[in-house]
A and B are shown apart, each in its own frame.
Chain A
Amino acid sequence: MAVTEINGRSVHVDDEGFLTEYGEWDEDLAKLLAANIGIDLTDEHWRVIRFLRDDYKDRGETATTRRVQTVGGVSVKEQFALFPKKPGKKMAYVAGLPKPHGCV
């Protein structure tokens, strides 16, 4: 595990850069993480991020794109539009969670 600086804040990350401490994330940090990967957060992005955060808190596991659709109510198509190319990983990154481990 490494510590990296994001705008002067130290956070714990794994080898790839995903945050490892649930409590180190807040919404200001999410804006920076999103900006790092070229995403400007809109209300639709926040809907996904808040679902991911709450769902992780309940289950201890990052939701897959499938789960974000069936439980979170944001369609897979919309997820690809909001977080292009790699929605599962990008959503997890911005939400300060480990990348999803589920296959589907």
Chain B
Amino acid sequence: MTITMESRPSVMPRFDDEDPGRKLAIICSKGNLDMAYPGLIIANAALGEGVDTHLFFTFWGFDMITKSRMNDLQFSPVGNTAMHLPGHDAHMPQSLLPMPGMTAMATRMLKKSIADLGVPEVPDFLDQIVAAGGHLWACRMSADMNDLTPEDLRDDVAGIISAAEFVEMTAGAQLLFI
């Protein structure tokens, strides 16, 4: 169907108005379950806005793309003074938090809260990000430090690259370090 200019509504969303070259680079350096999510949520949102999005996994963030570890990210309340008892403003005393089983329990609870919101687990979330056109890059130094090769990583990791290559590739991008 063709539509003439006269029949276009006077108010309509400007889907293609933004800078077509907008690019976002996200450096994911943490492997705690709670710190894995911010980068993924922003990446997913950016892709949904048509932004060319690149994620660089480095140091502890490498666990997010390592096959043997990506399903086992954990969350610990130890050292996190913003951690409250569920549904309360009260803190748990830090001295009690290193108790055996605490990390497993906190991880289970966080996973449940995230799942209740319909937000996927990390590997599934990365599947979605790649399906939406996002690019995953692995840090060369982290791979070397952990003796990991491409076979150890998610199949959709686009490459193991140096920091300089990542910087070059994301020239002009907005950059987030997490």
Which A residues have a C-beta under 8 Å from some C-beta of B? 2, 4-8, 11, 13, 15-18, 31-32, 35-37, 40, 64-67, 69-70, 75-77, 80, 85-90, 93, 99, 102-104
CA A85 to CA B46, docked complex, whole Å: 10
Shortest Cβ distance from B56 into chain A, in angstroms?
21
Q: Given that A35-B1, A85-B50, A104-B117 are known contacts, is A4 also in contact with B128, CB under 8 Å in the complex? A: no
Query: A36: which of B12, B118, B125, B133 is its contact (CB, 8 Å)?
Result: B12
Instruction: State whether B3 touches A32 (Cβ < 8 A).
Output: yes
Verify A16–B13 contact, CB threshold 8 A: yes
Give the docked Cα–Cα distance between A35 and B4 (Å): 10
Decide if the interface of chain A is mainly helix, strand, loop or mixed: mixed
Q: Which of B83-111 contact A (CB under 8 A)?
A: none
| Most-contacted residue by chain B among A15, A70, A77, A104 (CB, 10 A) | A104
Q: Is B78 an interface residue (CB 8 A)?
A: no
Which residues of chain B from 1 to 44 have a CB within 8 Å of any chain A CB?
A: 1-3, 7-16, 41, 44
Name A8's closest neighbour in chain B (CB-CB).
B7
Q: Which of A5, A75, A85 contacts B9 (CB 8 A)?
A: A5
Q: Could you list 24 examples of A-B contacts with CB < 8 Å? A: A4-B10, A4-B11, A7-B7, A8-B7, A16-B13, A31-B1, A35-B2, A35-B3, A36-B8, A40-B1, A65-B48, A65-B132, A66-B120, A69-B128, A77-B131, A85-B15, A89-B15, A93-B15, A99-B13, A102-B118, A103-B45, A104-B41, A104-B117, A104-B120
Q: Which of B30-81 contact A (CB under 8 A)?
A: 41, 44-45, 48-50
Decide: A104 and B44 in contact? CB cutoff 8 A: yes
Q: Least Cβ distance of B51 to chain A in Å?
A: 9
How close is B18's CB to chain A, nearest CB, in angstroms?
Answer: 9
A18:B13 contact, CB within 8 angstroms: yes
Nearest residue (CB) in B for A103 is B41
**CB < 8 Å neighbour of A17 from B2, B9, B41:** B9
Q: Which residues of A contact B7 (CB under 8 A)?
A: 6-8, 32
Q: Measured between C-beta atoms, what is the minimum distance from A64 to chain B in Å? A: 8
A32 to B49, alpha carbons, bound, how many Å?
22
User: Given A31-B1, A103-B41, A75–B49 Cβ distance below 8 Å?
Assistant: no
Contact B132 A17 (CB under 8 A): no
